[in-house]
Structure 1
Amino acid sequence: MESTSLQPASAPAGKFLSRFLIITVTICILISPGYIFFSERGGIGFIEGVTVKQLLHLIFPFFGLYAFTLVWGQIIIGTCKPLIKKIFPGIGRFHRLEGIFAFIFALIHPVLLIGSLGAVTYLKYEFVGPNKKIFVLLGVTALLLLIVTVTTALLMRLPWLQKRWKKLHYANYAVFILVFIHSWNLGTDIQGSPLQYLWMFFAVSAGLGTLYRIWRAIVKRRTAMSAQSATASEPTNSLNPPNS
């Protein structure tokens, strides 16, 4: 009887611990890009005494780092939503809000670069070597796809989007891959800094999350097919005469 009375109390305690751990890890992950960004530059002193264009050029990578971090969060929440929802029932609203912030940071990233270089230089991709231009194009493509996914998420209640927005939302996986390649090959903050290990963690965890989502889809489909087969066989069985 005593063990039975302890069970109801253990469930809330376990849920509280899970929430605490997830929130703590999330905060650490969110702090890491900014902390490393400024640490590698010796604090905020690197922006002192610079022109506006120089300032824009110095800080535009910061927004790129956080854009990718938030896109990673979108992938993790999307792939593991059934598990996360048990601990955070309102994760859906947070998921949509985070997507908006990911888009804002992703948009600010090139806007600051354009402001520092000028539109002509940017559009000609003269700020990178010839062998690096492809990675700039990947970043631009990712931004365009992100515009599509964020727009469809915001307008998902429209009749013509209600059955389509989820399929369009799968483009976020392409966004993640494109931005990873873009940042890994162009991001000076990634190359040779502790952030490369965080980026590796992002890639591995997103890959595992995607595999988990695929597995859930396979199980769900097989369960539905089994249920459909069982339902289809019921009328036939009911017509068979009982064995004498």
Structure 2
Amino acid sequence: MIDRCNQMLRRLPPWGLYLLGAFYPAWLLYLGLTGGSGPDPVKALEHGLGEAALQLVILGLFVTPLRRFTGLNLLRFRRAIGVLAFAYVTLHLLVWLVLDVQILSQILRDIAKRPYITIGMVGFALMLPLALTSNNRATRWLGPRWRQLHRLTYLVALLGGLHYVMLAKGFQMEPLIYLAVIVTLLLLRLPRQTKRRLA
């Protein structure tokens, strides 16, 4: 069954994910323009993009455990998942900057004084080198350092989960579930990393 799934996945082009990924922001924008996203369409667009970005980051973390524990191989789609996550985070940030806050001095104050925004900006900054090196040329140029650099993904995921938890008002289970999933996926990698060091 797994072999059949892997054979089917090998026939699917990774670029198809980019096409699918373009629909969700367009759908959120359509809802905002037509009144389908509630009384605050800017916040709905901002939060929708941010949550989808976090979901993609988590999906990227799932790729290795899925192959390790079930044999299902999604490795050829991991780059597209990561690039889409970065695109969604960038749109999330742009909506906050351009449509939500708009005032530069207020933006700088928020980054400095609101921890969840500071954490979000640090996460975005760490995603920049990952996005810039998500191509074959960078992989060849960096060699073994490419894999070391892209371990920043783990920190990005953790910061994204913390950003979501701190953003939520009051006690909400959904952000905590996201963070718990991220921590679990990171912990699953610890034994493997330890074995590599001992080898």
**Which residues in structure 2 correspond to 1:38-49 (within 5 Å)?**
45-47=35-37
* CA deviation after TM superposition for structure 1 residue 85, in Å: 7.8
Cα distance in 2, alignment partners of residues 213 and 157 from structure 1 = 22
Q: Hey, what does 1:122 align to over in structure 2?
A: 107
Could you say which structure has the larger radius of gyration? 1
Relative distance call for 1:206 and 1:124 in structure 2 (3 A) is closer
**What is the one-letter code of the residue matched to 1:87?**
L
Tell whether the 8 Å contact from 2:162 to 2:179 is kept in structure 1 after alignment.
no
Tell whether the 8 Å contact from 1:76 to 1:206 is kept in structure 2 after alignment.
no
Alignment of 1:211 with 2:193, yes or no, is no
Cα distance in 1, alignment partners of residues 120 and 109 from structure 2 = 15
**Which residues in structure 2 correspond to 1:50-65 (within 5 Å)?**
55-65=41-51
SS of corresponding position for 2:139:
coil
How large is the RMSD of aligned CA atoms in angstroms?
3.3
Please, which runs of 5 or more residues in structure 2 have no aligned partner? 8-23, 29-33
Alignment of 1:139 with 2:120, yes or no, is yes
Alignment of 1:83 with 2:64, yes or no, is no
How much identity, in percent, do the aligned residues show?
18
* CA deviation after TM superposition for structure 1 residue 200, in Å: 3.4
Tell whether the 8 Å contact from 1:70 to 1:98 is kept in structure 2 after alignment.
yes
* CA deviation after TM superposition for structure 1 residue 192, in Å: 5.3
Q: Hey, what does 1:236 align to over in structure 2?
A: none
**Which residues in structure 2 correspond to 1:187-206 (within 5 Å)?**
187=168, 196-197=173-174, 199-206=175-182
SS of corresponding position for 1:153:
coil
**Which residues in structure 2 correspond to 1:92-111 (within 5 Å)?**
92-111=75-94
Alignment of 1:156 with 2:149, yes or no, is no
Cα distance in 2, alignment partners of residues 105 and 67 from structure 1 = 5
TM-score by length of 2: 0.70
Q: Hey, what does 1:3 align to over in structure 2?
A: none
SS of corresponding position for 1:66:
helix
Tell whether the 8 Å contact from 1:56 to 1:115 is kept in structure 2 after alignment.
no
Relative distance call for 1:81 and 1:119 in structure 2 (3 A) is farther
Q: How many residues align?
A: 172
* CA deviation after TM superposition for structure 1 residue 71, in Å: 1.0
Cα distance in 1, alignment partners of residues 69 and 131 from structure 2 = 21
Alignment of 1:67 with 2:53, yes or no, is yes
Please, which runs of 5 or more residues in structure 1 have no aligned partner? 1-11, 20-33, 39-43, 225-244
* CA deviation after TM superposition for structure 1 residue 81, in Å: 5.6
Cα distance in 2, alignment partners of residues 15 and 172 from structure 1 = 28
TM-score by length of 1: 0.59
Relative distance call for 1:125 and 1:210 in structure 2 (3 A) is closer
Cα distance in 2, alignment partners of residues 180 and 218 from structure 1 = 24
Tell whether the 8 Å contact from 1:61 to 1:187 is kept in structure 2 after alignment.
no
Alignment of 1:166 with 2:166, yes or no, is no
Cα distance in 1, alignment partners of residues 187 and 43 from structure 2 = 38
